[in-house]
Structures are given as C-alpha cells and as structure tokens.
Amino acid sequence: MTLDTTDADGAADPGTDVAGAGDLELRSLTKRFGDYAAVNSLDLTVPAGAFFALLGPSGCGKTTTLRMVAGLEVPSDGEVLLGGVDITWAKPYKRPVNTVFQSYALFPHLTIHENVAFGLRRQGRSDVNGPVGDMLSLVELEDFAGRKPAQLSGGQQQRVALARALINEPKVLLLDEPLGALDLKLRRQMQLELKRIQLGVGVTFVHVTHDQEEAMTMADTIAVMNAGVIEQMGSPNELYENPRTTFVANFLGQSNLVDADISGRDGDDVVVDAQGAKVRIPADRVQVNDGKVWLGVRPEKVFLASTGEPHTGNSLGTARIVDVSFVGVSTQYLVRMGWGQELMAFEQNTGARPIMRSADEVEVRFNGAHAFVLDHAQDARAGVDED
C-alpha cells in the first residue's frame, strides 16, 4: 500500500509528533501469522482521554492490534508505547491497560461483586467494597452484586465487563466489539451509555468495531483499517465528508463513484471531466493531480432538478429515474445516467417539492464542495457492504 495514512493534524507521524503524558503510541507495529501480515507496519497515536475507534471489516487486523496493546499477542515487529514508556514486551498483567472482551469473559464461578473486585484484589487492595460499590452504581447494577454472571442479561453482563475493567483506573481501556452480542435497540442505548461513562471517567477508550454507525456515534477520532493498514484517520465528519480512498468512501456510508478524468485547474478548483460533463471540485478534496479518477458524490448530496430549472453548481447531465423508494423521512431514487451507470440520490421529504416518479427525466446536480476525487487505481467496489 502506498496510501498516505497521515492524517491532517500529523498525528500518525511518530517522527514529528511529541507524545503527550498519557498518549498511546504504536510505532511500525506488525503482526505476521506465517506469511500473512495481519497488521502491517501500523503507526498510530491515540491522544490521552480520547474516544478512539478502530473501524474495519472482519479480518482487517483491528482485533490483533488491540490484543497487541493488551499484551495478549506478541508483535512480530514494532513498538507499543504508553505515556512514552515502552510496553511492547511487558506481560499483560503488568500493563496499565484493561480490556472489555467481545464475549465479556466474566468469571462464571464468581459473583458480580467478586468479578468487579478481581483486578483490585490481584493488585493487593483489600478495601475493595467501596470502589466496587461505586463502580456498580456507575453502571447501575448495585442490586446485582450477589448474583452470578449467568443470572444476568447480555446487556447487564456487558456493563459488568465494563465495570470490571474500569475499576482498575487503566490508562487505556480497550473495547473489543463490546456491543456485538447485543440486539439493535440495546446497542443504541449502550452506545450512549458508553459515551457518557467515557466522558465521566476521562479514560482513553480504544474501541474496535466493524459497525461504522457505532464508530461514528461514539468516537471523536476514527481510524479506518483495511488489510492490516490504516486507510484514513480523522473525525467522523471528516472521514465521511472527505474520504481519501474508495474503501473509506464505501465503508462509511454509501458513495456514487463516477469514472472521470482530470482536465485542468482553475484557481482553487480542479476541473474534472465526468463522462463529458465538466465539474469543478475544490483542490483540497482531490487526491490525485492528473489522469483517470473516481468522482465521488454521496447520495444525499445529489440534487435531482427538473430539466430547465435554473442552474447552480455542477451538473452531471440528464438522467432518467428508474426506481423510487419511499422510506418516510426521505425518498431514495435510482437514476440511470446517459452513459448507462445508475446513481443513487436521497432526498428529504420536506414537502417543499413533490416526490418524483419513475421514468421522469431529471438533471443530476451537486455542489463541488460536497464531492471528492479519488485515485482511479483503487477498486470502486472496495469496502462495499455485500449483504
């Protein structure tokens, strides 16, 4: 991969970045299983106190990365630093890092109280009752202290796992798909809960997930991982609005990608020839200087104008509506362009305009500041949810 994974604020470059007091730093971290590199020379800095998400499809190396930070997996190469201290080779039980496991891994033979007290007891603390009580009230499980894990629901077990890890006041809390086993409604509720707890305790959270919505809801910074490397890192808004690779464009939300060529420059804009239509895109949203590119526009950024409506912004030319799906808050249109490609357009049902019908002819417009231009060498289907 030759992609530039350095993010706008330079956080991914360990050479120029001075780590803060409690920052978690990964330097060329690599894990090979035989010939296969699960994690390939990963550089990453997670600032202290951040809610950081490692987002990617299964098998992208995110869990392996997390396990190397926890000390449960030995790196093949590279370093893990926490607050400037090299912990690459430290035993898991000697790291100020705790994990909320995917399956919770609660001790079935111990009560909830003893599960939560486990870490404190191992550190030789005898006055565990106070902290355990506080922690159980933080996760609203005071009444369950005497029960065994099997007597609790999935959501309650999840909160116990969180309390059991947080009570140790780790410098970094690692969460491995913590909400994966919960149903949708409970997951939404726990997302808000986790965010509330993170803001309350101020501990650095590193959250591994394959759910882009979960990552965007909770994290202040997301690193999108694919095939052992970080594709792009930034705030949810930044990643969504200005993706730098086709993988990010497709994995976070949906994108229309149109085959296009760069035809020149005009001031701060790059002029792109998209199947005959000349469109202008701000230069900071263009990843390549010349040649063939993918012009990307999110479906909700596409405006379908009746032909002849006054012209503003860029136009991709006329199209015919082939499918209309009414989903309540919005209407999703599928339109066929003159060159045969089908594009998606989502429009909010504000009531200001009537809903269009199949076979209507429309003009496809968008604002150049909402589009992005990507390297054509990348697979246009990368990161598309196949389900």
Q: Which one of 81, 90, 105, 145 is in contact with another protein (CB under 8 A)?
A: 105
State which of residues 28, 103, 151, 358 lies at the interface with another protein (CB under 8 A): 103
Q: Which of residues 134-193 bind another protein (CB under 8 A)?
A: 164-165, 168
- Give the residue with the Cβ less far from another protein, 34 or 108: 108
Pick between residue 123 and residue 153 the one whose CB is nearest to another protein.
Answer: 123
CB of 74 to another protein, least distance (A): 13
Q: Which is nearer to another protein, 98 or 198 (CB)?
A: 98
- Decide: is 112 part of the binding site for another protein (CB under 8 A): no
Say if strands 36-46 and 204-209 run parallel, antiparallel, or are unpaired. Answer: unpaired
Dist. CA 309–CA 315, nearest whole Å = 12
CB 359 within 8 A of CB 227: no
Helices (H), 9-128: 62-70, 112-122
31 binds another protein (CB under 8 A): no
Residues 6+ apart with CB under 8 A from 208: 53, 54, 62, 63, 65, 66, 174, 175, 176, 177
Binding-site member from 35, 91, 351, 386 for another protein (CB under 8 A): 91
Binding another protein by CB under 8 A: which of 107, 143, 289, 377?
A: 107
Task: Say whether residue 109 binds another protein (CB under 8 A).
Answer: yes
Please state the closest distance from residue 275 (CB atom) to another protein, in A: 52
Of 168, 107, 109, 167, residue with least CA distance to 137: 167
Smaller CB separation from another protein, 161 or 304: 161
Q: Restricting to residues 42-81, name those near another protein by CB under 8 A.
A: 70-72
Q: How big is the chain, counted in residues?
A: 387
Residue (120 or 194) nearer to another protein, CB: 120
The yes or no reply on residue 82 touching another protein (CB under 8 A) is: no
Considering only 57-65, 93-101, 220-228, 291-299, which stretch makes contact with another protein by CB under 8 A?
A: 93-101
Contacts of 255 (CB under 8 A, 6+ apart): 243, 246, 249, 296, 297, 298, 299
Give the range of 87-95, 203-211, 269-277, 284-292 binding another protein by CB under 8 A.
87-95
CB of 96 to another protein, least distance (A): 10
Residue closer to another protein by CB (options 103, 237) is: 103
Residue count at the site for another protein (CB under 8 A)? 24
Distance CA 280, CA 312 (A): 12
For another protein, which is the closer residue by CB, 118 or 303? 118
Q: Which long-range contacts (CB under 8 A, 24 or more apart) does 220-224 make?
A: 220/50, 220/51, 220/52, 221/46, 221/47, 221/50, 221/51, 221/52, 221/53, 222/52, 222/53, 222/55, 223/44, 223/52, 223/53, 223/54, 223/55, 224/55, 224/56, 224/248, 224/251, 224/252
Nearest residue to 333 (alpha-carbon basis) of 342, 321, 319: 321
- Nearest distance from residue 101's CB to another protein, in Å? 6
Is residue 357 near another protein by the rule CB under 8 A? Answer: no
Among 14, 57, 92, 282, binds another protein (CB under 8 A): 92
Dihedral of alpha carbons 271, 273, 278, 279, sign = negative
Least distance (Å) between residue 171 CB and another protein: 13
- Decide if residue 93 touches another protein (CB under 8 A): yes
Dist. CA 224–CA 202, nearest whole Å = 23
Is the Cβ–Cβ distance between 15 and 28 less than 8 Å?
no
374: Cα within 13 Å, side-chain hemisphere: 30
According to the binding rule CB under 8 A, does residue 119 interact with another protein?
yes
The residue ranges that bind another protein (CB under 8 A) are: 70-72, 91-94, 97-99, 101, 103, 105-109, 118-119, 122-123, 164-165, 168
